Chains A and B, each alone.
Chain A
Amino acid sequence: EAQVTQNPRYLITVTGKKLTVTCSQNMNHEYMSWYRQDPGLGLRQIYYSMNVEVTDKGDVPEGYKVSRKEKRNFPLILESPSPNQTSLYFCASSWGLAGRETQYFGPGTRLLVL
């Protein structure tokens, strides 16, 4: 089954404790992206990647890191989480290099930073 998976689905952590949210897709997509969703603000792009070893900032990259060492995986790293990073996070992928095609979303990771 074609899908985007994220782990964990739910996470409660404390300020400053490094964490990683994994994202994996099995569709051989070049383009992958991370979004956060907050009430009243909609989904906002954090980082995106057009291919292996090619990543760039989206609209709200502060406090986040990403890497793309393999085509299928695109982990999101919070080196020192803060309460303002409490949010619902989505990973997405699509064909092509520029994210112009239909984007497929993972189920989301709900993060609470205390």
Chain B
Amino acid sequence: KQEVTQIPAALSVPEGENLVLNCSFTDSAIYNLQWFRQDPGKGLTSLLLIQSSQREQTSGRLNASLDKSSGRSTLYIAASQPGDSATYLCAALNYGGATNKLIFGTGTLLAVQP
């Protein structure tokens, strides 16, 4: 059974710092790995999706990597800004025939201090 873990649960950094958020998963038979951002009172916004055949994806200041062999994904945020403050969730999509499903981690709450 797939389990997804995100450590740390909370992180506070000063503005301008580069940072890395971690995501671990137990079952390497994933179809893809997705990173989401969740703002208070709002839904989840998809940030990056990495297919199982890929090693990384980039969007602006965000870079996500995937290492299936070690069961890890990282989200790198360059030059952090206060507007980056949110909860970041990773989710693994497992093979399951007709029952593909996203298994979510519990998230990392990021606070970027001005």
Contact = CB atoms under 8 A, between A and B. Distances in A.
Interface residues of A, number: 26
B101 A48 contact: yes
B75 to A, nearest CB: 16
Contacts of A103: 34, 44, 46, 102
A100 B104 contact: no
A62 interface: no
Contacts, number: 58
Interface residues of B, number: 24
Interface of B is mostly: strand
Nearest to B93: A100
Contacts of A92: 44
Interface of B: 4, 31-32, 34, 36, 41-46, 49, 89, 91, 93, 98-102, 104-107
Interface of A: 4, 35, 40-45, 48, 50, 56, 58-59, 90, 92, 98-108
